[in-house]
Each structure stands twice: as C-alpha cells, then as structure tokens.
Amino acid sequence: MTALAFVVAFPLLGAALGPSAPPPLQPIGGGIAGAQGVEPTPPPSAVEPAIVLTVPNAMPRLARDPDGMRPQVAPPVASLTGYQWPITKGRISLPFKAIPGGEFSNNGKLFHDGVDMASFCGAPVGAAHGGIVLAAGRHFDDFIGWVGDLGPYYRRLDSQHLWDQLPIVVVIDDGDGYRSMYAHFRDVTVRPGQQVKAGQLIGHEGATGHASGCHVHFGLFSPAETKLFGVRADIVKRMRTPSHEIARIDPLAVLPGGDVALKTRSIEKAIRAAAAS
C-alpha cells in the first residue's frame, strides 16, 4: 500500500520567492497531524495591520477578471450544494485556520486560506463541483481573486524566470456564485473553457510549487464577496503582489462530512459519515 503523504505548503506565492527566499522551512507544530515544512512566523512588522477589510456597498475591484461573469451578491455558504471531495482517500493535512507563517491574514492572525488534503503522488483529483474551467496550469492568478494590480508581480515572474516555480493550478467557476481552486497538481487533464461535472478527473495529485510533498490545496471563494484577506507584508514587498485577496470560506463547510473530517482528519470517515446520514 502506498504511504499517505502528510504535507503542508504555501500554495500560491512561496514557490516564486526566488533568490531572496528565507532560510529553509521549519515545522509548524501546533498539534496538526503530519503537518510540516511551514515557514517560521515572521516578525510583527511583517504582518499587515489592516488584516480584514470590508468594502461597503461595492464589490471588490478584482485584479483582472477576463470572464466578466460575477454575481452581484455573494451567496450564503449555507445555500451551496452539490459539492464532493476532490480526493476520496487520504487525510486532511492542514485545515482552514490560523497558522504560524501563513501567507494571508484574517482577524489579526496569519492564516491558511484553504484545506490541504493528501493521499499519494499521482492520485486522481476530481472536480468538487460541476462548472467551467477558468484556468489550468501556471497562469492562474487572473482568476483567484486578487484585489489590485498584478502587473508588478507578473513583471517580477518574467524578469526572474520564476513561472516554472509556481504550482500547477486549476480554477473552476462552480456556477453557484463561487469558484473552486486546486493547487499543486503533477499534471492536469482539463483546459480553460471546458465544462466539467462534479467528480470528473481534472488532474493528478502532485507537489508542484513550494510543497513538501504531494497533496491538494483546495480553496473556495465568491468573486462578489466584499470581505478581504490581507497578504503578508513581506510577501507583498518581495513578490510585488497586491496587498489583498477576496476572503475565502472554509471548504469543509460545503464538503460532505466536513465536520467529521476536521475531527478525525480522515476523508474516508467523512464520506462514510455523510453517506450514513
């Protein structure tokens, strides 16, 4: 039997820090089963003071949004249906929560903005919900909810030849006012513009980008959400990214048996519990 991969990673930014990257990564501890390889907590000056912003009476100004299809109001999380697990075996290696060294900031704490789930390298990964593929590969930042100008960030990637260090990512418009994003693929089997069904194969579990092992980072957000997460100030300075992204929701809130998965870290137990109920 192939051993499970227990990993945690910086899903989108850490891979491209380039020559000025910090020293080797250290374990985060904190009682997270199998979690390892997260960057040490930065000094207080590196944490942006305005952690969460609310933009009243206006949708956030996305960095870019070429598809042009956005709901006017973020649908409530309780209204979301039809989601299923991207992988059906394995464990939750890092939940949606505050962690030392997180890339983003929420309510004054550094934060992991999705759920990491791990089984084995090359495991099939399915779409969590039916929808339209917006991005599949390393050119995905236009679709993941940056708020601000991506030009300086792209110019840095070009000048430092860093594109190949980014994770391979799939972003899907789920058709319900939300977008799902999946990071660290070994390879993908879909293309932008393709319509997919829930459970359809979209790629295989990998460790592209800054990852300590094979896993899937799964994130979920609504382009109409006005709450924002901050981006850690040292990353903004080094990578020249925007300083905010649209706030994410906890994917375990929509995945079947998510509460069981959070307690047991077992995806199989979560699926069985959901089926039994």
H helix or E strand, kind and range, residue 34:
none
CA distances from 145 to 9, 64, 189, 229, 259 (A): 19, 8, 23, 10, 26
Q: What is the CA radius of gyration of the chain?
A: 17
Q: Which residues span the domain enclosing 58? A: 9-276
Identify whether 3 is part of a domain. Answer: no
**Average pLDDT estimate for 21-46:** 34
Partnered with residue 195 across adjacent β-strands are 132
CA-based nearest residue to 224, from 147, 276, 129, 121: 147
Q: Count of domains in the chain?
A: 1
- What's residue 38's pLDDT? 33
pLDDT bracket for residue 12 (50, 70, 90): low
Question: Which of the two residues, 251 and 64, has the higher pLDDT score?
Answer: 251
| Dihedral of alpha carbons 227, 231, 237, 239, sign | negative
- What's residue 200's pLDDT? 98
CATH number of the domain enclosing 13: 2.70.70.10
- What's residue 256's pLDDT? 98
Per-residue pLDDT of 215-242, as tens digits, reads: 999 999 999 999 999 999 999 999 999 9
H helix or E strand, kind and range, residue 183:
strand 179-183
Identify whether 101 is part of a domain. Answer: yes
Identify whether 81 is part of a domain. Answer: yes
Per-residue pLDDT of 127-176, as tens digits, reads: 999 999 999 999 999 999 999 999 999 999 999 999 999 999 999 999 99
Identify whether 246 is part of a domain. Answer: yes
Identify whether 4 is part of a domain. Answer: no
pTM of the model: 0.80
Identify whether 1 is part of a domain. Answer: no
CA 54 to chain centre: 21
Burial string for 31-46 (b: 16+ CB within 10 Å, else e) reads ebebbbbbbeebeeee
**pLDDT exceeds cutoff 80 at 214:** yes
Q: Which of 18-27, 99-108, 119-128 has the highest mean pLDDT?
A: 119-128
Q: Are strands 52-54 and 115-118 parallel, antiparallel or unpaired?
A: unpaired
Give the C-alpha separation, 112 to 146, whole Å.
16
Identify whether 112 is part of a domain. Answer: yes
Report the mean per-residue pLDDT for the chain: 82
Identify whether 2 is part of a domain. Answer: no
pLDDT bracket for residue 18 (50, 70, 90): very low
Give the C-alpha separation, 229 to 187, whole Å.
29
Per-residue pLDDT of 43-84, as tens digits, reads: 444 444 433 444 333 445 555 555 555 557 899 999 999 999
- What's residue 44's pLDDT? 43
